[in-house]
């Protein structure tokens, strides 16, 4: 094996080894700072990516987020206390809520 191909192999191996680690790095997702951030991060990242919050922000208003939090607890079995559920729902509605006035989001 030539010296060049040895180096190419080593580089490839290093890259491949680094990739899955990076893909699994949840810390890449940063939620908006605000009251309830800590509760949301610690309660909602147990089962899936916090991406779910960001991805659903265009569709959910305060009532919608309340439903999601309730569903995660009752259907999915999320271990969240009622106090924290209220804090999280408020955080999500404030930072990731769709505009509450439907007329404001409809184009003229
Ligand atoms: C006990 C595990 C668990 C916890 C904790 C959890 N979820 Fe989920 N969540 C799920 C599962 C399972 C799904 C649906 C399956 C999938 O698509 O991965 C889901 C789906 C979602 C979805 C996609 C829309 C939907 O209704 O299916 C959103 C948004 C969401 N979760 C938000 C949250 C938020 C916000 C929290 C924190 C309050 C949370 N999840 C905590 C298990 C959990």
44-79 residue pLDDT tens: 999 999 999 999 999 999 999 999 999 999 999 999
Tokens at 94, concatenated: 């404030």
Residue with CA at minimum distance from ligand 1 atom 40: 44
Question: Domains of the chain, with CATH numbers?
Answer: 30-105 (1.10.760.10)
Substitution candidate for ligand 1 out of 48, 69, 75 with most atoms within 8 A of CB: 48
* Interatomic CA distance for residues 15 and 10, integer angstroms: 9
The verdict on the CB of residue 13 being under 6 Å from ligand 1 is no
CB 51 within 8 A of CB 29: yes
Q: Where are the beta strands (DSSP E) in the chain?
A: none
12-56 residue pLDDT tens: 454 444 444 444 455 568 899 999 999 999 999 999 999 999 999
Mean local confidence (pLDDT), 76-102: 91
């Amino acid at each position: 094996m030539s010296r060049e191909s040895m180096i190419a192999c080593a580089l490839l191996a290093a890259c491949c080894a680094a990739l899955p680690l990076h893909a699994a790095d949840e810390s890449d997702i940063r939620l908006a700072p605000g009251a309830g951030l800590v509760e949301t991060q610690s309660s909602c990242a147990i089962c899936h990516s916090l991406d779910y919050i960001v991805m659903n922000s265009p569709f959910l208003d305060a009532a919608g987020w309340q439903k999601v939090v309730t569903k995660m607890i009752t259907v999915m079995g999320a271990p969240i206390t009622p106090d924290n559920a209220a804090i999280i729902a408020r955080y999500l509605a404030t930072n990731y809520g769709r505009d509450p006035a439907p007329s404001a989001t409809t184009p003229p």
